[in-house]
Amino acid sequence: MALFRRENIAVPDERKDQIVYKWPDLQIRRFTKAIVAPDEVAVFLYQGQVIGTMPPGRHQVDATELPFLGMFKDMLTGGNAYRTELYFVSSREIRDRFGGRIDEVQDPQTGMLVTLRVFGDYVLKVTDPVTLITKYGGTQDVPDNSKFTDLCDDLLLRSLRQDLTRNIVRNGWPVLGLSAYSDDIEKTTIEGGNARLADYGLGLVGLTNFVISLDDETEAELRRLAKDTAYSRLAGGFQQYAAGEMALGAGEGMAKGGSGVAGAFIGAGLGMGGAAAQPPPPGPPPPPAPGFAGGGAGYATQQPAPAGVACPSCQAQSAAGSKFCASCGAALAPAVRHCTQCGVELPTGAKFCPGCGASTAPADATPPAPA
């Protein structure tokens, strides 16, 4: 019987890479030597309940050294064995890759809806062996670590989906400039991932080779829109930029057309060139918005500028809300008048009181001379 052949218990060399290794025998001979490596913790279970643990070192399986075993002697062997399950949980760091689609977000720079993808490596380790076995590992041998790494992959993507999308929307991070925020993204991802992994006795040590990307077609379109936005800003507005592009395209087309270009096309090119040559009305300056790292303003909703106030004396424009003219000092708001009969406030330009019908003309006004 295996009961009398085994003198030492340890994780076999070919199983050292496992996060959780279950000793195959349910009867452990009394006085057997259990060898727990420096990067391992041994956990005893009985009927799914943890009854005790063994730290790294060489231990003698006996109730004298491990008192919690006293209640689990196997009477069929005359008390020479303990009926219990033994698990070895590795605390060494495990490296694996993760990646996938995050979510669709609107780029603050261009207003374009894009789909983000993320790829990278992570370093995982067990932080609580008891929690790992009882809440996730289960009472079984787990020869494949994918049970744990798949869980980590899922929780990492969930954390990125929430935290990264929140930062892009709230803080206006441009999609093409996300590399400038790599440290912030990694920090929040690790914190969010650890908050979720703690429920399973796992923890993230770090992230490496972390990349957030777009598919080639979307990235090319996003770069084109970003270029148009930047050039429109430099030109003073989209109309000016479009007129310049039209004139440039017409000139290049005529230069390359030569004798093979039809007269209608040349006429159309001249017409577009003439229309583009007319000075367009000045456009409003682009509004401030989050831009690329090291770049300028980007896409944002245009806000109408408040209207100014014209001075009734010198016609100079003053800022909205001004009470006196900045050029001549005259009062910008008309003086408030009241009816001399009933005291009601009179509208501007009123000749008769809306309250009592009395004339608003001064009482001492001289009547016009008869003709």
Q: How many residues does the chain have?
A: 371
Name the more confident of 82 and 116. Answer: 116
Q: Please give the pLDDT value at position 88.
A: 92
* DSSP designation for 136: I
Q: Please give the pLDDT value at position 244.
A: 54
* DSSP designation for 73: B
Contact (Cβ atoms closer than 8 angstroms) between residue 328 and residue 316:
yes
Q: Please give the pLDDT value at position 161.
A: 83
Instruction: Place 49 in a pLDDT band, splitting at 50, 70 and 90.
Output: confident
**Best CA proximity match to 196, nearest among 135, 146, 138:** 135
Residue 23 has pLDDT above 80, yes or no: yes
Residue 59 has pLDDT above 70, yes or no: yes
Lowest-pLDDT range of 178-182, 258-262, 317-321: 258-262
Percent of the chain as helix, strand, coil, to the nearest 5: 35, 25, 40
Name the more confident of 238 and 128. Answer: 128
Instruction: Place 56 in a pLDDT band, splitting at 50, 70 and 90.
Output: very high
Mean pLDDT, residues 195-213: 89
Mean pLDDT, residues 210-232: 74
Residue 149 has pLDDT above 60, yes or no: yes
Buried b (16+ CB within 10 A) or exposed e, 252-265: ebeeeeeeeeeeee
Name the more confident of 303 and 24. Answer: 24
Q: Is 91 helix (H, G, I), strand (E, B) or coil?
A: coil
Name the more confident of 223 and 263. Answer: 223
Mean pLDDT, residues 21-47: 86
Contact (Cβ atoms closer than 8 angstroms) between residue 353 and residue 339:
yes
Mean pLDDT, residues 343-361: 79
Q: Please give the pLDDT value at position 362.
A: 67
Q: Which two tokens stand for residue 329?
A: 């000092």
Mean pLDDT, residues 173-188: 83
Mean pLDDT, residues 45-53: 82
| Cα–Cα distance for residue pair 76/176, rounded to 1 Å | 70
Name the more confident of 239 and 215. Answer: 215
Residue 121 has pLDDT above 80, yes or no: yes
**Best CA proximity match to 90, nearest among 140, 44, 121, 124:** 124
Q: Please give the pLDDT value at position 123.
A: 92
| Cα–Cα distance for residue pair 44/38, rounded to 1 Å | 18
Instruction: Place 257 in a pLDDT band, splitting at 50, 70 and 90.
Output: low
Contact (Cβ atoms closer than 8 angstroms) between residue 190 and residue 204:
yes
Is pTM beyond 0.85? Reply is: no
Q: Please give the pLDDT value at position 27.
A: 79
Percent of the chain whose pLDDT exceeds 90: 9
* DSSP designation for 177: G
Is 368 buried (19+), middle (13-18) or exposed (0-12) by CB count in 10 A? exposed
Contact (Cβ atoms closer than 8 angstroms) between residue 23 and residue 88:
yes
Q: Which amino acid is at 239?
A: Q
Name the more confident of 124 and 334. Answer: 124
Q: Please give the pLDDT value at position 74.
A: 60
Backbone angles phi, psi at 156, to 5 degrees: -65, -45
Q: Which two tokens stand for residue 148?
A: 């744990």
Residue-averaged pLDDT of the chain? 74
